[in-house]
Amino acid sequence: MDFIKALSRFSAATLHEALGKYGNLPSAIKPIHPGMKVCGPAYTVKTMPRDNVLLHRAYAYAKPGDVIVANCSGFYEAGYWGDLMSLGAKTKGINGLVIDACVRDADDIEALGFAVFSRGLCIRGTSNHGDGTLNEPIVVGDVLINPGDIIVGDRDGVVVVPQHRIEEAIEKATAREAKEEDVRKQLREGKTSLQIYGWDKQFGY
């Protein structure tokens, strides 16, 4: 089975629920354009505050199809990534960037069609000392991300699917979508969600 293709069929929210409400990255991390989506194996990066040399190295070393995922040591007030890096990464076949910090050159990145998920935009420049780690486990929010875990992002946010739970996520997300389609059918027939879920009787409505 093509696990990446299979996972890309589902929304980030559906996969989060399918994993037992696990894997959601901080809600502040959103696509810089609402239409952007991403799905692929994580190539993990940890940078020092306001330093982006390792991000340059990351897109050079990552494999086509990878998603670069970056922890910037909790320092958000810098534009760690821009249009030139996006062009380089897209040319290399990188699927996108998920960064727990800010980026810049949003209009140019959007025009390139390279998927970038960040906490926001910041014009402040970075340094180039190069300290940090590449392709080692990192933590973003309260989620441990190992290299190769699958990253799925859309307008609602980003979820991490651990490698050992990929098949479980696909199976449970498929079941969840089928159940939700049944709920939609009942809503179209005029039932309320209180009736469908039995909450009208439970709470005495």
Q: Report phi then psi at 131, rounded to 5.
A: -80, 150
Give me the CATH code for the 3-163 domain, please: 3.50.30.40
Dist CA 202 CA 90 (whole Å): 53
Residue 189 pLDDT exceeds 70: yes
How large a percentage of the chain has pLDDT more than 70?
A: 98
> What is the pTM assigned to this prediction?
0.93
Strand-pair category, 138-140 with 143-145: antiparallel
Give yes or no for a contact between 6 and 14, defined as CB atoms under 8 angstroms apart.
Answer: no
Average pLDDT over residues 183-190: 93
Dist CA 195 CA 205 (whole Å): 10
Domain chopping of the chain, boundaries: 3-163, 169-202
Report which residue type is found at 106.
Answer: A
Contacts of residue 133, Cβ cutoff 8 Å, sequence gap at least 6: 44, 45, 46, 54
Average pLDDT over residues 140-163: 98
Mean pLDDT of the chain: 95
